[in-house]
Amino acid sequence: MTMPLRDASLPQAAAQPDSPDPWESFRVDERGELLRLLKLLRDGSVPLTLSSPRGHALSSQLWSLDPVREHLSFSAEGGGVALQALAQSDEAVAVAYLDSVKLQFELSDLLLVHDHASSALRTRMPKVLYRFQRRAGLRLHTLERQAPQVQMRHPAIPDMQIALRVVDISANGCALRLPADLPALQPGTRLSGARMQLDADTCFTTTLALQHVSSLHPGSAGTSLGCEMLDLDGAAQRALQRYIDRTQQRRRALVQR
């Protein structure tokens, strides 16, 4: 495990005393995924906060990423006392937000570098990054023409495979549309072996725990099933988060056109 994270906003429920890393489920250490997230911070000029163990904080941006030399460079203009304190620290923590997702990683070997026009804070590229859902209830609404589906067996008709539209989805739950011509389901029902097909690249199997049943908007037949996704392994969690990230990015690009 890396050095302890010092941010008081870390989710306490994630801690597992018998695990070497209490935030294992939020950990990103696969190099390709880690680089992808760092590139999103760099290319989007996303604001970051760099802070030292003694509480000095600096608003910054990730200017450059060098995977070969394992270096990151952050903007360091007008940092004053906080910048000097960070440069003299052995370690620091960087925090940024990508929409609903909080990214946090530790920095080491900090070095303040200057040229004739600007200053930068150079650090070693982290081996581990932690990704937290900023709001557990955030839902990504799907589009009708591109609606992902879940394939499963209805408890009342187990011999028949059915496909339900995924109305919205988050990192730990989803809402499904149950057509009016299928038997109703009751809260508390567990639907094992549900195959989530979100797009051509994102497919995984999970157990759905039905939390609540509600009516769809007026004029729509059927009901909405609010489900929690259980038993997601690390690969499924990463695939789901990538799907959410990609979909949000595409929608932002459409709005900005």
Q: Residue 154 is part of a domain; what is its CATH number?
A: 2.40.10.220
Domain boundary among 83, 117, 133: 133
Does residue 221 lie in a domain region? yes
Reported as a pLDDT band with limits 50, 70 and 90, residue 145 is very low
The per-residue pLDDT for range 22-36, each reduced to its tens digit, is 667 788 889 998 999
Segment 236-240 shows an average pLDDT of 88
If asked whether residues 121 and 153 sit together in one domain, one would say: no
Residue 5 domain-assigned? no
Mean pLDDT value across the chain: 78
Domain boundaries, position 64: 12-133
In a domain, 162, yes or no: yes
Please measure the distance between the N-terminal and C-terminal CA atoms of the chain and give it in whole angstroms. Answer: 43
- Amino acid 84: pLDDT: 78
Q: Final residue of a domain: which of 133, 158, 193?
A: 133
**Do 83 and 184 fall into the same domain?**
no
**Number of domain units in the chain:** 2
> In this predicted structure, which of 65-69, 80-84, 95-99, 228-232 has the lowest mean pLDDT?
80-84
Examine residue 6 and state whether it is found in any structural domain, yes or no.
no
**pLDDT tens-digit map of 82-139:** 777 777 877 888 888 876 678 899 988 888 887 655 678 888 999 999 987 644 444 5
For range 153-169, the mean pLDDT: 86
pTM: 0.48
pLDDT tens-digit series, residues 38-58: 998 888 888 888 888 777 777
- Note whether residue 3 is domain-resident: no
pLDDT value at position 24?
Answer: 72
